[in-house]
Structure 1
């Protein structure tokens, strides 16, 4: 479909969050959002588990080489304690409808879903592909007796090269200090199929997004992205922000927030055909850890997330700094990361107060009174005993830790540095 093109007009505006109204339908539907997210991203975990079991039963699996929690008993309504699931996005061209001649396989997208032990809060953490991190010794494809040596510093997206999905899980686990017993890899075709199954994802742009490297030429305003356009939107980095992987994560978080809002709508959740196609698109293009391949796990995982409200879901970017000698690369900001993961381990409800440079508020319609900007509140890690702030207040993360909430409508700023 032909699209209008507009001249690029670089500009920056004050970031303003618009809190979406919490109607009763939104509140009632939000308990199903993460269930459906798991259907989409983590192998068909359960809005219609009975319908997708045939897909999951035939899914390709891999042993992570870690001890998973005890097998979930039949009839279990939820998993015990916290839940951590890693989702890696593979850039392999093998067997995909997209082939530009690139070879090999990198884990270019790395997301960690964390659900608190009380099952009241969920966080999706994005790790930049350009992050330089230690990579532990990982078993090679030849078996447990053959290991790749540990490395003190390598780019995160090379972990797949040194032992596949198990090595990505080990690397993220050592970086975060969190056990990761469940993991999956999704390919390009999976992203294409998921966006088509929901009928496209609406994304707001405050200015045109033009990136010749991914053949994207999108006008300002609302764009419904589907199929390969959705994939290229998630992959673009030169068309948004300052062209960095950090800006690309901002882009992806806006897309994922919009996808969650689309998934919570009754037109998606009550349409068996869409749910079926969502599960099929995901599972047909995923590699799962064998710890996830059971009907009992799917049902229990669904029960674990079904009552989490949108206001208690956060998309967060792992904090980082410019690398001191590797140009264009990043290094972990361990101080801020310690605050983030202390908050997660505490189980406290929290809010991100900082947003990325490639994110803007929706434009104000003619005649609309603009909302007052939300001033960031300096946050601190919760007390050592894991209690929330005095009086039960929500924890406010430092503004240097950026992210988005799916109950907040946000737009992509397009290119902001030239």
Structure 2
């Protein structure tokens, strides 16, 4: 999100440092898989408590009017159960200050840019999912988009993707990504600053690992090496920071956001969250009250059906990837054929396997918990067994595609003010 303003320095207020006590209770459920916001749309609704909570009047009335997408069609609302087939959902994070906390500046201090643009794909058989990020400074072709006030806007051959929200609203961002990827995207959601703050607080904070000290005067983020439990304002500023990590670019900020999302997934799927009706209710409320949804998604039942489709996906089969790009004057552009190969794999519903690094913004966590190997049962008679069948890796992506899975533990590669020059 935009970092033109310099909010107050976060300091240590509301920041907790926690000791690592090993892996969260293991579960085969990966009930959230889309950005620090996207994941919650799906995950929050998977448990007896969450379905009951979100069905209450207080949560239901917080759902805002839906945004009509060009490719939407009327159809029956699915029953509570896994949605049939696969899902493509676009999630955007807006930098608009309208209706937001005064800490982010006056409501007219920025436009309405989609500084976060992510595509959630769930496979037809609900065995894997991916969350694919598009850099805000990526030049794309924007098709003719409906004007919310009537008529339509002209197409443009080359503009940054983060201008699409201000150009034609959420529907225009969806049309642009559809043109760019060749995919049909019937679901979409737009979130603002307050949504991130509410969700991180609803789960009691999200643990993040910092490898080298982060110093960013623009977002007021100053964190020492180690593990920190972030929520509310501090969690949001951690997601917005870029000057204080990696090479200071938006590309490394995406790496950092993927670290946060992976930790959010593990936090939400943990027993401590899903067994606590207060947390589940707060998370459900945070999602519905702070997101603007497409008409196709603006239903508790639809949200729940997508969540059910996600609930049995293993963490290692939830892939966070950043589209491959190269530098051009004033921004970045897609690297071919790696870019088209990525979305050909998504269109073919193939599981994605990363071969590249996590990116310059993060490094592997040296203290990542290691699962103990199962102890074989004692027996006096050797038993002949067949070699276990190995699962096909799906499509191995180009090493120019950076990212990680929800099961990977990573740390932020921070940098100090001195290193920023």
Instruction: Give the TM-score band, short-chain normalised.
Output: 0.7 to 0.9
Residues 1:361 and 2:364 are matched in the alignment: yes
Instruction: State the distance in 2 between where 1:180 and 1:123 align.
Output: 14
Q: Cα offset for 1:38?
A: 6.1
User: C-alpha separation between the residues in 2 aligned to 1:235 and 1:392?
Assistant: 37
> How does 1:128-147 map onto structure 2 within 5 Å?
128-143=135-150, 146-147=151-152
Alignment of 1:54-203 (within 5 A): 54=57, 55-60=59-64, 61-68=66-73, 70-74=75-79, 77-97=81-101, 98-101=103-106, 102-143=109-150, 146-203=151-208
Name the residue aligned to 1:304: 309
Q: Deviations over 1:355-408 (max 9, x none)?
A: 20111122459xx99xxxxxxxxxxxxxxxxxxxx9734432221111011111
SS in 1 for 2:337: helix
CA offset digits 1:25-58 (Å, max 9, x no partner): 5134x25445998672369544322321332454
> What do you get for the CA RMSD once the two structures are aligned?
2.8
Deviations 1:147-185 (A, max 9, x none): 111100111111011111111111111111111111011
Match of 1:330 in 2: 332
- Note if contact 2:31-2:43 (Cα within 8 Å) is conserved in structure 1: no
Q: Does 1:52 align with 2:54?
A: yes
Give the structure 1 partner of residue 324 of structure 2.
319
Task: Tell me how far apart the structure 1 counterparts of residues 204 and 115 of structure 2 sit (CA, whole Å).
Answer: 25
Equivalent residues of 2:41, 2:303 under 8 A apart? no
Give how far 1:290 is off. 0.9
SS in 1 for 2:321: strand
Shift of 1:68: 4.1
The answer to whether the 8 A contact 1:207-1:220 is kept is yes
Residues 270-279 or 102-111, more deviating: 102-111
- The answer to whether the 8 A contact 1:321-1:332 is kept is yes
Greater Cα offset, 227-236 or 53-62: 53-62
* Equivalence for 2:16: none
Match in the other structure for 1:262: 267
1:26 aligned counterpart, secondary structure: coil
Distance 1:22 1:412, change over 3 A: closer
Q: Unpaired segments of 5 or more residues in structure 2?
A: 1-9, 14-21, 371-389
| 3-state DSSP of counterpart to 1:110 | strand
Q: Which runs of 5+ in 1 are unaligned?
A: 5-20, 370-389
Question: In structure 1, what is the Cα distance between the partners aligned to 2:195 and 2:315?
Answer: 25
Q: CA deviation at 1:285?
A: 1.1
Partner Cα separation in structure 2 for residue 361 and residue 316 of structure 1: 16
Give the 3-state SS of the residue equivalent to 1:81 in structure 2: coil
**Alpha-carbon distance in 2 for matches of 1:129, 1:215:** 21
TM-score w.r.t. the length of structure 1 is 0.82
Counterpart CA distance in 2 for 1:202 and 1:415 is: 19
Alignment of 1:369-388 (within 5 A): none
What is the TM-score when the length of structure 2 is the normalising length?
A: 0.82
Distance 1:297 1:3, change over 3 A: closer
Could you tell me which residue of structure 1 aligns to residue 401 of structure 2? 401
* SS of 2:116 mapped into structure 1: strand
Shift of the 413–314 alpha-carbon distance from structure 1 to 2, 3 Å rule, reads: same
Q: What is the SS of the residue equivalent to 1:253?
A: helix
The Cα shift of 1:284 comes to 1.0
Structure 1 residue 232 and structure 2 residue 241: aligned? Answer: no
Give a deviation string over 1:111-161, Cα, whole Å, max 9, x none.
Answer: 110001111110000110011111111111213xx1111100111111011
1:282 counterpart = 2:284: no
For 2:226 and 2:23, the matched residues in 1 are separated by: 24
Aligned mates of 1:59, 1:169 — CA distance in 2: 20
**Structure 2 Cα separation of the partners of residues 69 and 31 of structure 1:** 30
